[in-house]
Chains A and B, each alone.
Chain A
């Protein structure tokens, strides 16, 4: 995957495209295996993103210099 920071929405849309491509049966074996590898890796990334991260609630506040900063509140 070129863009490692793909968000969930893009990832799932991309996965849907991979599945459709594979199910069409038009791809060569090499392509199918490549798509499969890509898909499985991407699914793992998504799963990690969904279950791996700690819950965080921040508040967006103005710093003394006027810039916006996050302050953890929970």
Chain B
């Protein structure tokens, strides 16, 4: 026995193979025929073998991938699959993990579709930044579709029901066959050169991938991208995706759905208007009330401080003062009167007339001087004796 080497385990080998294979053999397009097809009832995963004349390989398509299939796979169908090679490690078994599957008849178109999609994707034509806003309340909707199609009828019906105020301008085009792309491009261009169109609906009813093919053409995609007016696509059925859908500003699953998305519901707008009207009334009422309260307050203040009121107060004060002054003067006057009376009485008591009343008399000389001594009058001289009620003229006859 040789010295002990470190051997690979089976599981390590399988794991290494898995890593090698998965890194190098991913995102492949493989064609072949389905056989041993089995849909696992509970998990929903699909198991089948893909084969050609000289070989076969096991495939699995998990439910997450197969639920978007547009056909029902069956034994004997030629298909093209997009897949990665993987190893089921427990059994060391190679199998393909399938992401997409198309019947082979559509294979060429499908590959062309994928190629163009990648090309435009790399040019960023699908980027969100290029998406124009769809007007919320368009007035004029331009429609690029066949004027005789059911799709056009459907669109008109939806718009008329939801938004009878919106004007529709049809630019009728061919939507199938060799001339289709040329007329579609012209249609989009014409609507762009016509004024007042708010949004364009590019539509076509359902059909096979060949029928819808014009919407997967590069020139159409580029004309949508170049449109100055926002474009909403409504092409085929819900499951149909076209390049036009990716490049348009909004993708609707069907023509009617496009009309639904674009036509603003008139009732809704009227409700908004009513609401705003109510809000305007409420706000102006509030503003008025606020100002009225302010005015009331100021009015009250003003009344309180108004000059008339102040003058009244002053007048009252003056009246009061006047009253007090008058009464003071009256008191003073009475006091004085009383004083005067007493002085008068006193004075009266001292009057010479009071003495005369008691029977005395006053002697005046010729020169009208009061005589206090008898020798002041000579014998034979005239003098006057004043009594209470008159005067006497007398003569001194002798010395007493």
User: Which A residues fall within an 8 A CB radius of B?
Assistant: 7-9, 12, 15-16, 18-19, 22-23, 25, 27, 29, 32-33, 35-36, 39-40, 43, 46-47, 49-51, 53, 55-60, 62, 68, 70, 73-74
Q: Which residues of B contact A23 (CB under 8 A)?
A: 279, 283
State whether B137 touches A51 (Cβ < 8 A): no
Which residue from chain A places its CB closest to the CB of B193 in the assembled complex?
A: A68
Query: Which residues from A are CB-within-8-Å of B160?
Result: 55
Are B279 and A9 interface neighbours, CB within 8 A? no
13 CB-based A-B contacts, threshold 8 Å = A9-B136, A9-B138, A12-B276, A15-B276, A19-B283, A36-B281, A36-B284, A39-B280, A47-B273, A50-B266, A50-B269, A56-B168, A60-B194
Which residues of the other chain, A, contact B280 by a CB distance below 8 angstroms?
18-19, 22, 35-36, 39-40, 43
The complex places the Cα of A72 from the Cα of B400 at a distance, in Å, of 168
User: Of B168, B272, B287, which is within 8 A of A58 by CB?
Assistant: B168
CA distance A42 to B118 in the complex (A): 49
Secondary structure type dominating chain A contacts: helix
Across-interface contacts of A39 in B (CB, < 8 A): 276-277, 280
**Contact residues of B: prevailing secondary structure:** helix
Which of B95-103, B169-177, B366-374 forms part of the interface with chain A?
B169-177
Interchain CB contact under 8 A, B170 and A27: no
Question: Which size bracket describes the interface of B in this complex?
Answer: 35 or more
* A19 and B276 in contact, given A12-B137, A50-B165, A60-B169 (Cβ under 8 angstroms): yes
Q: How far is the CA of A46 from the CA of B266 in the complex (A)?
A: 11
Contact residues in A for B107 (Cβ distance below 8 Å): none
Cβ 8 A contact of A57, one of B170, B194, B277: B170
- Chain A's closest residue to B287 (CB) is A32
- CB neighbours of A73 from chain B (8 A): 147, 170
Q: Is B270 an interface residue (CB 8 A)?
A: yes
CB distance from B283 to the nearest CB of A (A): 4
B269 touches A12 (CB 8 A): yes
Q: Which residue on B lies nearest to A55, using beta carbons?
A: B164
Most chain B beta carbons < 10 A, residue from A47, A55, A58 = A55
